[in-house]
């Protein structure tokens, strides 16, 4: 699995495809599976808590302001599409290379 298959380039930003596992013992990027980044989140999947935790985690992990991160598809699903600024692409690839 190539890391680049989990990322789609768009004008000025990138789209990243996630498979979220809420209610985990710790928050972490776990692996890449079926062209999606598997991410475990401690927060429960209720009232948007897991979605907020995903944005917070990605913000810290990739050094991107929270306001520049959006979940554009899958707010109520474990399969999500997240939009990040183009500037985060190289940092994301570096992080993903470590978990493969």
Q: Is residue 24 part of a domain?
A: yes
pTM of the model: 0.92
Tokens matching residue 82: 């997240």
Q: Is residue 35 part of a domain?
A: yes
Looking up residue 86, the CATH number of its domain turns out to be 3.30.1200.10
Q: Is residue 23 part of a domain?
A: yes
CA dist., res. 95 & res. 24, Å (int): 20
**Which residue is it, tokens 């992080």?**
95
Task: Return the bridge partners of 84, or none.
Answer: 14
Size of the chain in residues? 100
How many domains would you assign to the chain? 1
Q: Is there a contact between 39 and 53 (Cβ–Cβ < 8 Å)?
A: no
Q: What is the pLDDT of residues 22-49, one digit of tens each?
A: 999 999 999 999 989 999 999 999 999 9
Q: What is the pLDDT of residues 55-92, one digit of tens each?
A: 999 999 999 999 999 999 999 999 999 999 999 999 99
């Amino acid at each position: 699995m190539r890391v680049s298959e989990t990322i789609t380039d768009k004008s000025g930003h990138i789209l990243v495809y996630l498979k979220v596992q809420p209610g985990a013992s710790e928050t972490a990027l776990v692996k890449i599976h079926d062209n999606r980044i598997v991410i475990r989140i401690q927060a429960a999947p209720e009232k948007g808590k897991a979605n907020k935790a995903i944005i917070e985690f990605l913000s810290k992990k990739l050094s991107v302001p929270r306001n520049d991160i959006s979940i554009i598809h899958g707010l109520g699903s474990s399969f999500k599409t997240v939009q990040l600024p183009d500037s985060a692409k190289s940092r994301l690839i570096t992080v993903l290379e470590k978990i493969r």
